Chain A
Amino acid sequence: DIVMTQSPDSLAVSLGERATINCKSSQSVLSTSNNKNYLAWSQQKPGQPPKLLIYWASTRASGVPDRFSGSGSGTDFTLTISSLQAEDVAVYYCHQYYSAPLIFGGGTKVEI
């Protein structure tokens, strides 16, 4: 199984500042057949279900603000929140969908 490792476990960022979350997979999630990274990011606010933010490592899901961006390829990925807003307080999960079982990272808690 692919292991997903996120860092840091938590971070505190001032309003308007940048937040950066890292995710590393134990093996590449880049498909050579279509050159796509099978890596997604989801956000879970307190008391709510998860919400998909990013898929294919860098494609924003519908309605996701452009302050959220994803980057990386192969085994190393990053989620960046360019200017943190109060409503961005949440736990963020990376997850691979290259192969079953789909695996989530341990989560990164973002606080103000």
Chain B
Amino acid sequence: EVQVVESGGGLVQPGGSLRLSCAVSGFTFGSSWMSWVRQAPGKGLEWVANINQDGGEKHYVDSVRGRFTISRDNAVHSMFLQMNSLRADDTAVYYCARGGWPPDFWGQGTLVTVSS
């Protein structure tokens, strides 16, 4: 059974940092692109970033480029999203998803709230 579990969300002040983690099981992680997709409260889906199998190719949406860094550790079947210089408009549920083109299986998400 495919499982994707996000963690690391929470309340952070504007300008602060947070690191999200995504632990997976039930599929060959090292052979899979992975993605982060977010959803602001009451809004639609927004793709954030994806990363290829060995971490050598990464893509970002313009609004997070330079502030967020996607990474992965195939040895522990995990993906990460380091989020710096957080802004109020980064407030959202962040979903980890298997696949990059397109994402094809999402976790339950972790809520990130940026507020003072």
Q: Please report A residues at the B interface, Cβ cutoff 8 Å.
A: 1, 38, 40, 42, 44, 49-52, 55, 61, 91, 93, 95, 97, 100-107
Contact = CB atoms under 8 A, between A and B. Distances in A.
Given A50-B106, A95-B47, 6 more contacts: A40-B102, A49-B107, A52-B103, A100-B50, A101-B59, A105-B44
Interface of B: 35, 37, 44-47, 50, 59-62, 95, 100-109
Given A49-B107, A51-B106, A38 B101 contact: yes
A55 B103 CA distance: 10
26 contacts: A1-B62, A38-B101, A44-B45, A49-B107, A50-B45, A50-B106, A51-B106, A52-B102, A52-B104, A52-B105, A55-B102, A93-B45, A95-B47, A97-B102, A100-B50, A100-B60, A101-B47, A101-B59, A102-B35, A102-B47, A102-B50, A103-B47, A104-B44, A105-B44, A106-B44, A107-B44
Contacts, number: 55
B101 A101 contact: no
A40 to B, nearest CB: 4
